[in-house]
Structure 1
Amino acid sequence: MAFLRLYLFLTVLLFSFFISSQLPQICRLLRRTDDLPVLVSEGDIMIGALFPLHDTILESPPSFTTEPHPTQCSGFNFRTFRWMQTLIFAIEEINRDKQLLGNLTLGYKIYDSCSTHFHALRTALTLMNGNEEIAGISECRGGVPVVIGDGGSTLSIVVAQFLGVFHVPQISYFSSCACLSNKLDFPAFLRTIPSDFFQVDALVQLVQHFGWSWIGTFAGDDAYGRGGAQIFNEKVTKLGACIAFYEIIPKNHQQTEMSRIVERILESRSHVILVFALEQDARALFLEVLHHNLTGIQWLASEAWITAAILSTPEFHSVLQGSLGYAIRRADIPGLQPFLLRLHPSKYPQDPFVEQFWEEMFKCSLGIINRSSSIRPPCDGSEVLVNINNIYSDVSQLRISYNVYKAVYAIAHALDLMLHCEPGKGPFAGGLCPNFSSMHPWQLLDYLKHVHFTNDFGEDTKFDINGDPVAMYDLINWQLSGKQEMQYVTVGKYDETMKPKLVIEEKNIIWSGNQKQVPLSVCSTSCPPGTRQATRPNFPICCFDCIVCAADALECVKCSPEFWSNTRRDTCIPKVVEFLSYNDTMGITLLSVALLGSCFTLAVTLIFALKRHTPLVRANNSEISFLILSSLLLCFLCALAFIGRPTTWSCGLRHTAFGIAFSLCLSCVLGKTLVVLMAFKASLPGSNVMRWFGPLQQRGIIFMCTAVQVVICCTWLCVAPPIPHMLMTHETARIILLCDVGSSFAFSLVLGYIGLLAAVCFLLAFFARKLPDNFNEAKFITFSMLIFCAVWIAFVPAYISSPGKYTVAVEIFAILASSYGLLLCIFTPKCYIILLKPEKNTKRYVMSKSNS
């Protein structure tokens, strides 16, 4: 109904504006607004401002026969009065600064919104209309081009919905509701306080950091409290934590309802509770907590009350000591405290708020209007603000006041940009610049959206696309000093522009009950070994019972993939990591065979080097023979890369080194086979084929055939290289370390190319095996290729079917077997003649035809 009445009121108002614009008569206000106290200071540019200087209004029942009595506000707030004085201070500071705005001056028109929707809307309407007295008649006049305020989110929502219709920019210093970032509903709203979306994100990170999973939530009955608490509940639930309860603090603070919601704390057994509410609502809650004598609760605070002086009094020390929450960034504004202490009723007789301030500060009556319910003594004139220790003059925690200060400077810088606009380079159509004499609010709004400056405190001030500033918070911890005074100690920072966003000095935190240990807040503690979790019906997942495990119950202890249950099944133990190592029998055996093959290859190389001038070595192309021996040595040594714990470099080296080494060896064998085959054809009359297979051509064949494999392996390493892989399953007690080939296609291509070279070598050698030479090398190459192909054909099914480290062993066996086949078949007959039959190592014997 309230929103319906508001809608009807606005409809009538807009209709009246329309009718008035069509009639050729002077605009007159239907009702005078001189019952609204206002503080005015004239200037070239007027700034409207709304501050909730009172906590509520005194309503009188309407008679519907006479005009309602003027609205009276009650509950003067010294904190918000300081905010108002900070605005005046900033405006006067800017007016003294001739570098900003030049000779233009700022004025202000300040109203009290009295912390109520209706009053906030009424003052906003007055700011928009403007009025002046002409011959006793209130005439309409142009409204202010910009408004600073209001305080609470609920108040700003009402004001922003109205101002947004006319695109009048509104900058709030204390309205943090995330809903106000919606530019469709609030197109002209900006603020210097971060959105609650960022505060909630910081609170959720805090909960996650300390591992709390059972959290209670209190919210104020307004847009700020409900909106912030709702986002917090949703986000923290997604992280796996549970909300113990969610209660709304009623605005009327009814005793029975307050008692009921506090009793929820006892029922829930939650030790960490978030209070997302304004300071007035939080105070009502904590008074009830004191009444129930509840202690030992770790309170999490929203920025609205974490630095509230009315809660840091000795009355609440036993309850709130150790509280933790985020506060917006503070600053020390030079000259502000003397400015605050300048006030006196005699100096500012036209200021309607100074009188109320003075009476409430000194609990006396100026004799003008007695606003207190009880009779107060008259003020005697000896009252001095310097002698009073009050939140008004306390400038140690200038946070909201700093936001007011930034809001005023944002307007001044936007106006300064507008003032220095160059014709043809303006932000509007055709490069037009605004005219100050006929400036429209939407023009100032455009400049405000793009304002960006660095103030005297080194902080950048700008607004994002939603009209929000950069989110920066101090993590505040309430700690008692030696004098039993509450101190706001900064124990961390949250900055959305940094990584990590949240930094906590955990060692400096004093928790509730003056403890140094982080409090525990869980619905159910972890189940001991030998038991399992059983969910409770109608309870969140964080609440469970621990039931003794039945024999062989697999679901009792769920170990992670790296662990395995012990024989008693009451704890998880690390799994055995398995790979082909140098310590087990299989690894030692394969290592020995590989090293033995390397020694045999070196021995053959030494024999060939010593007998390199003999006819047998020279007749078989000693250069290619030495190249084959070198490649065989690499084949034996590359098997060593397959043994040991897989690493990134060993996995990449294994298959590529093996592929290139075998390709080099087979390329040499191919070259040697071609030479044998072509040598026979060259012996035929009229043949000159050998000129195409000289030493240079043979080197070219070897290089080209090897280069193809090198390109394949390099591409493999660049695109999808082999990497270490842990093969884990819940069914086995072992972790198998393997090298994942990365690309199965590349691995198949490497093996396929080796197979192609071996097949070509075998075919050529097979055709030349019966050539009539006394020492025909082709038949030995044929035998070596038969062994090679047989080994690798058998390798494929054995590799696929072998489990664990035996897969690696099969691959090493294939490498060693094929290498031994090549070494023995090609070089053993030659070594036999060189060492045991030297009479056959003659030119005549080698060059003679075979008797067969």
Structure 2
Amino acid sequence: MCSYRYYSLHTYNFLAFVFAVKEINNNSELLPNITLGLHIKDSLRYIRNIIESALKILAGQSTIVNFKCNSSCTVAAIIEGFTDEETYGFYNIFQIYQFPQVSYSSQNLYMSDPVQYPYFYQTVPNELHLSVGIGKLLKYFGWKWVSIFSNDDESSMRAIQILKEGIEWNGGCIALHQTFPHHRRIKNFELQKIIRASKKSSTVNIYYFNKSGVFSLHYILDIERNVKSGQVFIIIAEVEIIKINQKHFQIRNKYFIFKPHTKVMPKFLKFVREMKPIWLASDYRAKHWWEDLCDSSCLKKIRRDCNSTVKTDIFSHCVSTYFGSSYSVYNAVYAVAHALHAMIMSDSGNGTTWTRENKELLYSLPWKLHRYLRNLHFKNGLGEEMYLDENGDLTTGYNIMNFILLPNMTLKYEVVGHYNPHAPPGQDFTIDEKAIVWESSFTQKPPQFRCNPSCHPGYRKLTREGEFVCCYDCIPCADGEISNQTDMDTCTTCPDDQWSNQKRDACIPKVITFLSIEEPLGITLTSISMFYFLITAVILGIFIYYRDTPIVRANNRDLSYILLISLMLCFLCSLLFIGQPKETSCILRQTTFGITFSIALSSILAKTITVVTAFQATKPGSKLRKWMGSKVSNSIVLSCSFIQIVLCLAWLFTAPPFPYLNMKSEIGKILIECNEGSIIAFYCVLGYLGFLAGISFIIAFLARNLPDSFNEAKNITFSMLVFCSVWISFIPTYLSTKGKYMVAVEIFAILASSTGLLGCIFVPKCYIILLRPESNNKKDIRKM
């Protein structure tokens, strides 16, 4: 096994490589009777050195591409820790050798395609998962006002584009996106540019750069000195925690760090403490590196037991908790070793015997290893189960960590959540809010980063023209609509049988209403109806009691009885309109009203015709004498009433009235009312009553100047005038009202018109009968 990267800043990566190889070689179950070797080259980050070193390892000492000239070792795989761009360039040059290229640092989004890059593998998640994880964190806390600072390399820009789309999909906005060159470290003036941009608004600041490296604590100190409180920073690079004089600065607890899943390797730290430094003697910088580990202030888990009088610098690496990508390197070595083991055991037939042919097959066909690397399932030296998926990516996720300052003035990481894209839905993203330590300005609650405050339930968003989509006004939902969540784009319409409550955040059942006999209006109308019913009954009793007096007999007392009884029924039929409409009451309402009124109007018409006939019959030689008598008048009443009965029966057999729930007539109410069924039949019934009233009025009006002995025509004229006025005004009033008030208008018309008939025709006669009995004789009647 060969590698090519070693330099002092990443010594831990080198040591993890060596440690993993030694651990595998000491394992009797993994690659038995096989010894792994390693070949390391320090490229010093120069592209020319990278290519030259790789050619020497892969092709031998002669740097001739596509030829292998006496290589000093048999190469099984290449394990590298380049930047994304270097990884891409290296792959394009050396893919002709078909060796597996395993990266422990590259998160290149494009190179996770096994079709275009069949020889490439990663032991860290690619950037697609990183951008999705950041998006889930923003969504979880409802942060929608975001500033992004990133490198300008192709893979990062694509990942940022995915992140932007996710933010905007969830209603967020990118307040600022600033890019910086990716081929070098961010310089101080560029950092100051980032800090100045972060000051502009209270946003979530995403520092999407330095993916494969570590954030210097000096960056954090500069942010603390220059950026106001009340902001949150999400970074994708670990911060190097070192011991410095904490009195000169304060770290506010506002940092979230996305770090690929790692695990503490106690045996590796022990290996660092006990390793012989002579192994690094070829590196002139190694001496200082090892001397740092002898300092008494160094961390106990890596401090070496050695004698050294050299005082290390206060920013020495030995006081840092950052151990590079050592865990990813460790997993990369184990992945290749397990793939080799699976391949060798498969080709050896019985899994234990090795022949010369087997070994030569391994040497000549390194590309066979790819078959076993794809979908590899293994356990590393820590016993942790690992998977390589079909794309060649290790199926691990991210730890979401707080970078916090403890009360004892020490800095530490606190794992507050996880994101594992390979976990089942609903379990892929978790946050432990209790573990999060918030900056004091947040009053220990998650901050809200928005262009404007959230729209509470009962309101909806209205985007401001010409501004970001997350800059909006909150407007209340309309009547009958609700929003039961914050920041809803639209309000939801309530079902027909429900209505919005006062806060517009829930639908409640509509109030069922009808003209009840228990409410004041119903009680009033019922009382009036019963009162006039009793008055009419009393008048009928008076007429029966004084039936032989001249004033009762003057104009067909039988018709008077019929008219009074029909008026009593008219007053009573108004009670059918009060109370909850049911199928029976709906049928009886209009039909009873139409028939009783037709009897009353037929009686009046018969009275009017009787007056005219009686006047004409008194003339000498008149032939109308034979039409005088009760048979004619009774026939008029029966025939005219029969026509109305036929109309009502036709109405009931074709489209009868029925109970109906009117949900739209009044806001927030369900009106139980009677649907007329056939509106044409309804108006035919009313029209026929109007016809009878009109005929009676015309005849009575023409007979009003007849001799005084027949002056009942005047009373009929006034009664018909009242009747017609009431019902003519009823029609527009009825059509302009809604709900139970339509019913009240009809009841009022029934009572008013019936009272008009009763008052105009019978009250004057009762006055004479009861108060002026001396005038109740033939002589005085003729003078009236």
Residue 167 of structure 1 aligns to which amino acid in structure 2? Answer: Q
Matched, 1:264 2:197: yes
**How do 1:203-352 residues align onto structure 2 when only pairs under 5 Å count?**
203-223=134-154, 225-250=156-181, 251=184, 253-278=186-211, 279=213, 286=220, 289-290=223-224, 292-302=226-236, 305-309=237-241, 314=246, 318=250, 321-343=253-275, 348-350=280-282
Q: What is the DSSP-based 3-state SS (H/G/I as helix, E as strand, rest coil) of the residue aligned with 2:493? A: coil
Q: Displacement of 1:450 after TM fit? A: 4.5
Q: Displacement of 1:169 after TM fit? A: 0.5
**What's the counterpart of residue 2 of structure 2?**
47
Q: 2:107 aligned to 157, 176, 190, which one?
A: 176
Q: Displacement of 1:537 after TM fit? A: 4.7
Q: What is the DSSP-based 3-state SS (H/G/I as helix, E as strand, rest coil) of the residue aligned with 2:390? A: coil
Report if the CA contact (8 A) 1:218-1:277 is conserved: no
Matched, 1:125 2:61: no
Matched, 1:441 2:366: yes
Q: Structure 2: how far apart are the matches of 1:574 and 1:549?
A: 11
Q: Displacement of 1:94 after TM fit? A: 1.5
Matched, 1:475 2:400: yes
Q: 1:103 aligned to 28, 33, 42, which one?
A: 33
Q: Structure 2: how far apart are the matches of 1:537 and 1:519?
A: 27
Q: Structure 2: how far apart are the matches of 1:730 and 1:453?
A: 71
Residue 509 of structure 1 aligns to which amino acid in structure 2? Answer: I
Residue 196 of structure 2 aligns to which amino acid in structure 1? Answer: E
Q: Cα–Cα, structure 1 residues 254 and 93, in superposed 2: closer, same or farther, change >3 Å?
A: closer
Q: Cα–Cα, structure 1 residues 357 and 306, in superposed 2: closer, same or farther, change >3 Å?
A: closer
Q: What is the DSSP-based 3-state SS (H/G/I as helix, E as strand, rest coil) of the residue aligned with 2:409? A: coil
Q: Structure 1: how far apart are the matches of 2:400 and 2:244?
A: 16
Q: 1:497 aligned to 423, 433, 437, which one?
A: 423
Q: Return 508-517 or 473-482, whichever deviates more.
A: 508-517
Q: Structure 1: how far apart are the matches of 2:437 and 2:463?
A: 35
Q: Cα–Cα, structure 1 residues 553 and 146, in superposed 2: closer, same or farther, change >3 Å?
A: closer
Residue 292 of structure 1 aligns to which amino acid in structure 2? Answer: N
Q: Structure 2: how far apart are the matches of 1:315 and 1:228?
A: 39
Q: Structure 1: how far apart are the matches of 2:244 and 2:117?
A: 35
Residue 497 of structure 1 aligns to which amino acid in structure 2? Answer: A
Matched, 1:511 2:438: yes
Q: Structure 2: how far apart are the matches of 1:316 and 1:175?
A: 36
Q: What is the DSSP-based 3-state SS (H/G/I as helix, E as strand, rest coil) of the residue aligned with 2:331? A: helix
**How do 1:6-85 residues align onto structure 2 when only pairs under 5 Å count?**
46-51=1-6, 53=7, 76-77=8-9, 80-85=10-15
Q: Cα–Cα, structure 1 residues 187 and 393, in superposed 2: closer, same or farther, change >3 Å?
A: farther
Q: Structure 1: how far apart are the matches of 2:143 and 2:335?
A: 40
Q: Displacement of 1:86 after TM fit? A: 0.9
Total equivalences in the alignment: 494
Residue 297 of structure 1 aligns to which amino acid in structure 2? Answer: Q
Matched, 1:202 2:130: no
**How do 1:582-661 residues align onto structure 2 when only pairs under 5 Å count?**
none
CA deviations on 1:634-663 (whole Å, 9 max, x unpaired) are: xxxxxxxxxxxxxxxxxxxxxxxxxxxxxx
Q: Displacement of 1:571 after TM fit? A: 4.2
CA deviations on 1:314-346 (whole Å, 9 max, x unpaired) are: 599645633113222222323222321235655
Report if the CA contact (8 A) 1:242-1:540 is conserved: yes
Q: Structure 2: how far apart are the matches of 1:520 and 1:275?
A: 21
Q: Cα–Cα, structure 1 residues 263 and 536, in superposed 2: closer, same or farther, change >3 Å?
A: farther
Q: Structure 1: how far apart are the matches of 2:663 and 2:131?
A: 39
CA deviations on 1:61-106 (whole Å, 9 max, x unpaired) are: xxxxxxxxxxxxxxx41xx211110110111122222322222211
Q: Structure 2: how far apart are the matches of 1:530 and 1:204?
A: 27
Q: Structure 2: how far apart are the matches of 1:88 and 1:324?
A: 32
Q: 1:383 aligned to 293, 305, 308, which one?
A: 308
**How do 1:644-793 residues align onto structure 2 when only pairs under 5 Å count?**
733=668
Residue 54 of structure 2 aligns to which amino acid in structure 1? Answer: A
Q: Cα–Cα, structure 1 residues 559 and 149, in superposed 2: closer, same or farther, change >3 Å?
A: same
Q: Percent identity?
A: 24
Residue 164 of structure 1 aligns to which amino acid in structure 2? Answer: Q
Report if the CA contact (8 A) 1:362-1:383 is conserved: yes
Q: Displacement of 1:553 after TM fit? A: 14
Report if the CA contact (8 A) 2:234-2:256 is conserved: yes
**What's the counterpart of residue 450 of structure 2?**
522
Q: Cα–Cα, structure 1 residues 96 and 731, in superposed 2: closer, same or farther, change >3 Å?
A: farther
Q: 1:406 aligned to 331, 348, 353, which one?
A: 331
Q: Cα–Cα, structure 1 residues 90 and 482, in superposed 2: closer, same or farther, change >3 Å?
A: same
CA deviations on 1:726-768 (whole Å, 9 max, x unpaired) are: x9999964799xxxxxxxxxxxxxxxxxxxxxxxxxxxxxxxx
Report if the CA contact (8 A) 1:48-1:148 is conserved: yes
Q: Structure 2: how far apart are the matches of 1:249 and 1:486?
A: 29
Q: What is the DSSP-based 3-state SS (H/G/I as helix, E as strand, rest coil) of the residue aligned with 1:186? A: coil
Q: Structure 1: how far apart are the matches of 2:232 and 2:434?
A: 17
Q: 2:507 aligned to 575, 578, 588, which one?
A: 575
Q: Displacement of 1:221 after TM fit? A: 3.7
Q: Displacement of 1:493 after TM fit? A: 2.4
Q: Structure 2: how far apart are the matches of 1:306 and 1:170?
A: 25
Q: Cα–Cα, structure 1 residues 224 and 337, in superposed 2: closer, same or farther, change >3 Å?
A: farther
Q: Structure 2: how far apart are the matches of 1:575 and 1:158?
A: 61
Q: Structure 1: how far apart are the matches of 2:205 and 2:272?
A: 39
Q: Cα–Cα, structure 1 residues 213 and 349, in superposed 2: closer, same or farther, change >3 Å?
A: closer
Q: 2:493 aligned to 556, 561, 577, which one?
A: 561
Q: What is the DSSP-based 3-state SS (H/G/I as helix, E as strand, rest coil) of the residue aligned with 2:23? A: helix
Report if the CA contact (8 A) 1:245-1:268 is conserved: no
Q: Cα–Cα, structure 1 residues 123 and 335, in superposed 2: closer, same or farther, change >3 Å?
A: same
Q: Cα–Cα, structure 1 residues 189 and 552, in superposed 2: closer, same or farther, change >3 Å?
A: closer
CA deviations on 1:691-744 (whole Å, 9 max, x unpaired) are: xxxxxxxxxxxxxxxxxxxxxxxxxxxxxxxxxxxx9999964799xxxxxxxx
Q: Structure 2: how far apart are the matches of 1:232 and 1:220?
A: 14
Report if the CA contact (8 A) 1:195-1:471 is conserved: no
Report if the CA contact (8 A) 2:291-2:308 is conserved: no
CA deviations on 1:536-577 (whole Å, 9 max, x unpaired) are: 45421111356999999999996432499x999984153332
Report if the CA contact (8 A) 1:177-1:227 is conserved: no
Q: What is the DSSP-based 3-state SS (H/G/I as helix, E as strand, rest coil) of the residue aligned with 1:435? A: helix
Q: Displacement of 1:438 after TM fit? A: 2.8
Q: Which ranges of structure 2 fall in alignment gaps of 5 or more residues? A: 296-305, 352-356, 518-661, 672-784
Q: Displacement of 1:478 after TM fit? A: 1.6
Residue 267 of structure 1 aligns to which amino acid in structure 2? Answer: K
Matched, 1:87 2:17: yes
Q: Cα–Cα, structure 1 residues 342 and 243, in superposed 2: closer, same or farther, change >3 Å?
A: same
**What's the counterpart of residue 821 of structure 1?**
none
Q: Structure 1: how far apart are the matches of 2:188 and 2:322?
A: 32
Q: Structure 2: how far apart are the matches of 1:484 and 1:311?
A: 10
CA deviations on 1:442-481 (whole Å, 9 max, x unpaired) are: 1223222243212343322221111011132222112222
Q: Structure 1: how far apart are the matches of 2:666 and 2:77?
A: 70
Q: Structure 1: how far apart are the matches of 2:22 and 2:389?
A: 28
Name the TM-score, length of structure 1 as normaliser.
0.50
Q: Structure 2: how far apart are the matches of 1:307 and 1:433?
A: 48
